[in-house]
Structures are given as structure tokens and as C-alpha cells.
């Protein structure tokens, strides 16, 4: 396959993902039986976000600086399953660069990745020789693995001798100034609640200016209250609320989200940690000190920090070159081509 053929195939896949046909919606409607977190709204939202990136113009511009030839080497991919199609970008990077790709999906994947790969192969049958889903990874030249901090130690042990990218837990944070419009705070609500807050790009921590009116934030995100109708999310909300009440921990509660002051970046599901700040420069330094645990930062203002900085409402819409953990996946692949 030529570089242009690979780009054209993914562009057609993007059109298909964006169209969301009856066949797609029928399949998606069944996924929550296998994984209750894979609701139709969240799966279609992810498909649309991916589809928006897979255009001829965006793909061609992204890949233009890189070599065009097929690689004879094989990339092993270990994909997470916390979000629908969370590992698609690794598949895209590996396949569009012409590598052979062996994919080990998460048990939480619910068959969604296989469905998308089958569609890609329908579009370009030559990918059938390049992309394989496997139960166990063997015979690969380099590896990209994503999981928890615990699984990362396992990955290091088994895959550390090969060229690798091994990703661990990261979280995203928001910095508020107090001057945000209601629309911007609603955008922040999407950063928090899309995909139930299960992703590394989901905001799990807020930084408020001192004496920030919490009620302003709660009023703006009230439209996300239907999230409490999801039984697994609501179970987490009820559990964490009961813990805070029993322990008499100070917290704020709007009926579907708990806000608790805490220095940690990673909050439990249905909980948002927060800290107050008085000096934005000190906060920027603090964020840089914690950059290894931060995927991205969302804010109304442009911050002088190392971590990627997105506008409110944009954390879940990364561009093709917004690489996870700040590691350029394409550069890694080219180095080992």
C-alpha cells in the first residue's frame, strides 16, 4: 500500500464514522449490555470526534513530513478499555505509517474495536494483511501499551526489552479565574462528565481562585444532572457521599457531583477534587511540578505551563498531533521503522 492509499482509506473511514449509519447505531445500541459504560451517546460521541479528525486534509498535513514506504516491522498494541475506542489513535498511527499491527484489546472493549477494524478492511482490503486482533501478543518488534500504574509495571517486566511506549495513569485539571461565562462553564461540564469522567482527558481536579463562588459552578453544570440516572455512576456517587458523611469530611454536593478539597490529582468517580490558589504564577509552577501526572489542563486563559493547555470544553477533542503523555507516537515509530 502507498502512503496515499492508507490516507485515503482512513479518510473514508472518517466519513463513515461521521455519518453514523443505521447499521452502526444498531450495533452501538447493544454495546452497553457488554459494558454498561459504553452508552450509545458516549460511543457515538467518540466516533464523531474521531471522524472529525479523519479527513484527507488533516491526515495529509499530519503525515506529510514522514516517510511514505511500508514497514516490514510489527507493532504490538495493548489497548485500554476505559473509554470507547480509546486506543484508536495508536491503531491509526501504526497503520497509517505502514507497520504491521497486532492488537490486544481490553476485555472491556465490547467488540467495538473489531467492528471498526472490519469496516476499515472493507474500505481497503489490503489492511487485512497488516492489522490483526490477537488474544496474546507474540512476534512483534516494538510495543505501545496503555494501562494503570499497576499494569505498567507488568508491561515493563514483559515488554521492557523491546522499543516501547508504556503509558500509566494520568489526569486532567481545570484552572478557573472567576471570570468564566456560563457557556464556558458548561464547556467545562463536558470536560468533566463526557465518558463519565473515566478518561485521562477527563477533568478530575479544579483550581479555584480564593473565595470562588461554588454555587456559580454548580448552577452552570446543572444540565448534566441526568448522569445520575446511570446506575453505575450513581452507585459511585452514593458510595463516596456516604464515606464523606461518615468521616465528616467537608464537601459540596449538588445531587450528582461531590466537590472535595484535596491535594491529589486523581479523584474517585463522581467526585471532583479542588484547591484554591491566590497567585497564578505559583499555580503554574505547581502544575509543572506535577506534569508527569497531568494529561492536559483546561482554562479560559493561556497558561505558561509544560502540559498541553486547552480551552474549556475542548479536553476531549484532541487533534491528530495531540499525543498522549506528550510522547510523539509517529516520531517513535519512525525511529524504529
Looking at the fold, whether 159 and 40 belong to one and the same domain comes out as: yes
Q: What is the pTM of this model?
A: 0.95
**pLDDT digit string (tens) for 203-242?**
999 999 999 999 999 999 999 999 999 999 999 999 999 9
Looking at the fold, whether 30 and 54 belong to one and the same domain comes out as: yes
Q: Is 337 helix (H, G, I), strand (E, B) or coil?
A: coil
Rounded CA separation 120/114 (Å): 10
What mean pLDDT value characterizes the chain?
95
The answer to which of 82-91, 102-111, 148-157, 196-205 has the lowest mean pLDDT is 148-157
Q: Which domain holds residue 40?
A: 3-169
Looking at the fold, whether 128 and 165 belong to one and the same domain comes out as: yes
Predicted local confidence at residue 249, as pLDDT: 97
Selected residue with higher pLDDT from 68 and 273 = 273
Rounded CA separation 159/167 (Å): 13
**pLDDT digit string (tens) for 18-58?**
987 787 888 888 898 999 999 999 999 999 999 999 999 99
Say if 23 falls within a structural domain: yes
Contacts of 153 (CB under 8 A, 6+ apart): none
Contacts of 226 (CB under 8 A, 6+ apart): none
Say if 325 falls within a structural domain: no
Say if 306 falls within a structural domain: yes
Looking at the fold, whether 150 and 288 belong to one and the same domain comes out as: no
Looking at the fold, whether 152 and 37 belong to one and the same domain comes out as: yes
Is-contact 306 291, C-beta < 8 A? yes
Give φ, ψ of 300 to 5 degrees.
Answer: -70, -30
Predicted local confidence at residue 20, as pLDDT: 75
Number of domains in the chain: 2
Contacts of 24 (CB under 8 A, 6+ apart): 16, 47
Q: Degrees (nearest 5) of the Cα angle 208, 182, 37?
A: 80
Looking at the fold, whether 163 and 178 belong to one and the same domain comes out as: no
Amino acid at each position: 500500500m502507498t502512503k496515499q492509499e492508507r490516507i485515503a482509506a482512513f479518510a473514508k473511514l472518517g466519513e463513515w464514522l461521521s455519518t453514523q449509519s443505521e447499521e452502526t447505531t444498531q450495533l452501538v445500541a447493544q454495546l452497553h449490555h457488554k459494558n454498561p459504560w459504553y452508552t450509545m451517546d458516549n460511543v457515538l460521541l467518540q466516533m464523531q470526534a474521531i471522524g472529525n479528525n479523519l479527513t484527507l486534509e488533516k491526515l495529509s498535513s499530519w503525515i506529510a513530513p514522514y516517510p511514505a514506504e511500508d514497514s516490514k516491522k510489527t507493532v504490538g498494541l495493548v489497548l485500554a478499555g476505559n473509554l470507547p475506542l480509546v486506543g484508536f489513535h495508536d491503531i491509526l498511527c501504526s497503520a497509517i505509517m505502514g507497520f504491521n499491527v497486532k492488537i490486544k484489546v481490553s476485555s472491556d472493549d465490547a467488540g467495538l474495536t473489531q467492528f471498526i477494524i472490519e469496516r476499515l478492511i472493507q474500505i481497503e482490503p489490503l489492511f487485512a494483511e497488516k492489522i490483526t486482533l490477537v488474544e496474546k501478543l507474540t512476534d512483534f518488534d516494538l510495543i505501545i501499551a496503555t494501562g494503570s500504574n499497576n499494569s505498567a509495571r507488568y508491561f515493563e517486566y514483559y515488554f521492557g526489552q523491546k522499543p516501547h511506549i508504556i503509558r500509566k495513569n494520568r489526569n486532567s485539571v481545570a484552572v478557573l479565574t472567576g471570570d468564566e461565562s456560563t457557556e464556558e462553564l458548561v464547556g467545562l461540564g463536558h470536560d468533566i462528565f463526557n465518558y463519565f469522567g473515566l478518561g485521562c482527558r477527563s477533568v478530575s481536579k479544579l483550581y479555584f481562585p480564593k473565595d470562588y463562588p461554588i454555587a456559580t459552578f454548580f448552577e452552570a453544570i446543572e444540565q448534566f444532572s441526568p448522569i445520575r440516572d446511570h446506575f453505575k455512576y450513581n452507585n459511585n456517587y452514593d458510595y463516596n457521599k456516604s464515606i464523606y458523611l461518615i468521616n465528616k469530611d467537608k464537601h459540596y454536593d449538588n445531587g450528582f457531583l461531590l466537590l472535595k478539597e484535596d491535594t491529589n490529582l486523581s479523584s474517585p468517580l463522581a467526585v471532583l477534587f479542588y484547591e484554591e490558589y491566590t497567585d497564578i504564577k505559583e499555580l503554574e509552577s505547581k502544575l509543572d511540578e506535577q506534569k508527569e501526572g497531568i494529561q492536559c489542563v483546561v482554562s479560559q486563559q493561556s497558561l505558561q505551563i509544560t502540559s498541553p493547555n486547552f480551552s474549556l470544553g475542548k479536553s476531549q477533542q484532541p487533534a491528530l498531533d495531540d499525543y498522549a503523555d506528550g510522547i510523539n507516537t509517529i516520531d517513535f515509530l519512525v525511529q524504529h521503522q
